[in-house]
Amino acid sequence: MYENWFMAALQQSWMEQALALAAQALGVSEPNPRVGCVIVSADGQRLLGRGSTQPAGQAHAEVMALRDAQAAGHDVRGATAYVTLEPCSHHGRTGPCCDALAGAGIARVVSAIGDPNPLVAGQGHARLQAAGVQVECGPGAAESRELNIGFFSRMVRRTPWVRLKVAASLDGRTALDNGRSQWITSEAARADGHAWRARSGAVLTGIGTVLEDDPRLDVRLAPVARQPPVVVVDSKLETPPAAALFQDGRPVIIYAAADEPARRAALEARGATVVRLPGAGGKVDLAAMLLDLGAREVNELHVEAGFKLNGSLVREGLVDEFLVYLAPRLLGSGAGMVNIGPLQELRDAVSLEFRGIERVGEDLRVLARIPGRADF
């Protein structure tokens, strides 16, 4: 019994190391999932190699771990690979990882969770078994899925995971009556917010924010492997071609409702991709926009917009969770977080469940999710 407990604890430890490696792929592997892999000796006692998913088009975690073992002079024949996601079985930007593991002589693969990609979806495990590799699904499924919530969302729902970020005073104000909002929260909170930007597949804002604040919406206060694209909801194509978000050459996608050929041409000359998705009332069809972003391989959509667009996204049931930074100050009147009211009954309120509350600098970071949004 002690031996069984010891082996289970050892397996848990190896998977935790693989999950820590997967977390290193945050902001790096997009649009691929964040995956970590450790290869250990047949007796489960020695680490032979480890790796995490590299930028798209480069090696996946399994190949990185095999290379690491080879560089250290380790023979991986008969070894066990702990992987945080089922090894892929298809030819995409790289070759199948299941074939790489089997070809290297790995005897056993322990995956945290199956790959939701329809091109894989069990085929990676099946090909490993066909090659004589023992396959198990071990611990870490919940952690791996949460780390890749956007990838799972895109594979299953065909839309990104939508995270709405707000910086507000303790009484829920995001700006004064005169529009001033810089800065409500501390520099530590702003740096933390940039880290969340960095992990996203794209950063979305509205035309109101572009015209009022002329934001760059890039990552400046946190380490970043690549700058995420910017998405603007701009029904009338009012984005100025000289806007700051064009400065560093990142991809910019503008969703519009109006057909304005001259304005469109001017924005496209700046490198923007303009997508016309007209909806009701001359507004952009936001649900169609999310489907389009999913088709563009955006896993996590990080929203930093004003209370009007925030309200539209919430009212249409398109927000999955909220990332809220609360400063220890009261502003009284001013702009709110989301425009969803006025409500007549408390039962009509948007219900949330807290996922985490942490102090960041002098502020609080609250992560709250709409119940059931991750049930896919």
146 has catalytic annotation: no
Longest dimension (CA), the chain: 75
Q: Which of these is catalytic: 3, 16, 30, 62?
A: 62
Beta sheet of 47-52, edge-to-edge order? 47-52, 36-40, 80-83, 108-111, 134-137
The closest of 150, 192, 149 to 167, measured between CA atoms, is 192
Q: Identify the three-state secondary structure at position 358.
A: strand
**Do 177 and 142 contact (CB within 8 A), yes or no?**
no
| One-letter amino acid for residue 294 of the chain | G
**Do 327 and 371 contact (CB within 8 A), yes or no?**
no
Beta-carbon contacts of 120 under 8 Å, excluding residues fewer than 6 positions away, are 86, 88, 89, 90, 114
Q: Would you report the helix, strand and coil content of the chain in percent, each value rounded to 5?
A: 30, 20, 45
Sign of CA dihedral 126, 127, 128, 129: positive
Write out the catalytic residue numbers.
Answer: 62
